[in-house]
Amino acid sequence: MAETTTTPEKGPPVAALPFIFLGDQFLYIITDLGRMGIFLFSALFGIFRHPFRFRELLKQLNFIGAGSLAVIFFTALSSGMVLGLQGYYSLHKFGAEGMLGSAVSLTLIMELGPILTALMVTGRAGSAMCAEIGIMRISEQIDALECMAIDPFRYLISPKFLAALISVPLLTAVFDIVGILGGYLAGVGLMGVNSGSFLSGMQQSVTNHDIRLGLIKSVVFGLLLVWICSGRGYFVQQIRGAGFGAESVSKVTTQAVVLSSISVLIFDYLLTAVLL
């Protein structure tokens, strides 16, 4: 920006500098939360705005959902198998191997499924989403949309929100099924746990409430990751310390993935505490 007329002003006293710094940081955080809040409402509102971009929704479902299937499959299979082995090792000490099916399925449905799915989708699709929107911002493509009187939320952001809200719970369901299969393979196939006791233990212990809790978590995590990743990209030029150009996009993408992952873990605790 320009540097034409500089207004010289006497600086504040040195003793006041820490307070000025803290106040400045506080104001920045409040401003950032405010604009992210407005971003969330605009994106959710954009889902209901006409004309709906159905083709873009399909494209995003393919990218976020179908594109993440392989990652989810292998993560779920390995997590389930590890859970099966670890569970067997612990339960064997108490002669309670029959509880393996129950332990594996409950852990996957209520905790690991939603969390690991959200983390995998954040790493694979969330980072790409943030970088794409960030690049569109710095190359003035979002400004171009606004100048053509096209709402960037309806056109660009809202289809990603809806796709994430649909994809993440479905991917979580896939994760749960594949994870339980992995636990079954490790427990029954490798460690010799009785197949009937594994399956009946699972059937008896998993309730609708547990499945509902996992589902609610997956929807909330899906919303969190798409909100944080696309929001950080959208405001790439307003994020303090991000720098400019390509550097700012790379820094903000890293920040979005970290922030999204931490938020998922924090919200996991909060939801468990409230809904369990």
Partner 1 sequence: MSPSTSKKVPEIAIEFDRVSKSFGQRNKKHRVLNDISFTIPRGLTTVIAGGSGQGKSVTLKLILGLLYPDNGRILVDGINVPSLNKRELLKLRTRFGVLFQGSALFDSLTVFENIALPLRERTKMSEDEIRVNVLATLDQLELTGHEDKFPAQLSGGMKKRVGLARAIQLEPEIVLFDEPTTGLDPVMTREIYQLFDTMQKKLGYTAVIVSHDIPGVFAIADQIILLNKGEVDVFGDINEIVHSEKPYIREFAEMTMGDLFARPEKEKCH
Which residues of the shown chain bind partner 1 in the complex (CB under 8 A)?
Answer: 1-7, 9, 11-12, 135-136, 139-141, 143-144, 146-151, 155
Q: Decide: 199 and 97 in contact? Cβ < 8 Å.
A: no
Comparing CB distances to partner 1, the nearer of 2 and 274 is: 2
Angle at alpha carbon of residue 116, lines to 200 and 264, rounded to 5°: 120
With CA atoms as reference, report the closest residue to 156 among 134, 135, 179, 133.
133
Which CB, 108 or 142, lies closer to partner 1? Answer: 142
Could you tell me the smallest distance in angstroms from the CB atom of residue 271 to partner 1? Answer: 34
Minimum CB separation of residue 53 from partner 1 in Å reads 9
Instruction: Using only the alpha carbons of the chain, give its radius of gyration.
Output: 23
3-state secondary structure at position 191: coil
CB nearer partner 1, residue 89 or residue 247: 247
Report the residue number, 148 or 274, with the smaller CB distance to partner 1. Answer: 148
Q: How far is the CB of 137 from partner 1 (least distance, A)?
A: 11
Indicate the residue among 150 and 275 with the shorter CB distance to partner 1. Answer: 150
Alpha carbons 229 and 126: distance in angstroms, whole number: 5
Judged on CB neighbours under 10 Å (0-12, 13-18, 19+), 168 is: buried
**Least distance CB 148 / partner 1 (angstroms):** 5
147/276 with CB nearer partner 1: 147
Q: Nearest distance from residue 227's CB to partner 1, in Å?
A: 21
Q: Is 42 exposed, middle or buried (0-12, 13-18, 19+ CB in 10 A)?
A: middle
**Contact yes or no for 121/261 (Cβ under 8 A):** no
Q: Identify the three-state secondary structure at position 214.
A: helix
**What minimum distance in Å lies between the beta carbon of 223 and partner 1?**
24
User: For residue 171, which of 230, 106, 231, 124 has the smallest C-alpha distance?
Assistant: 124
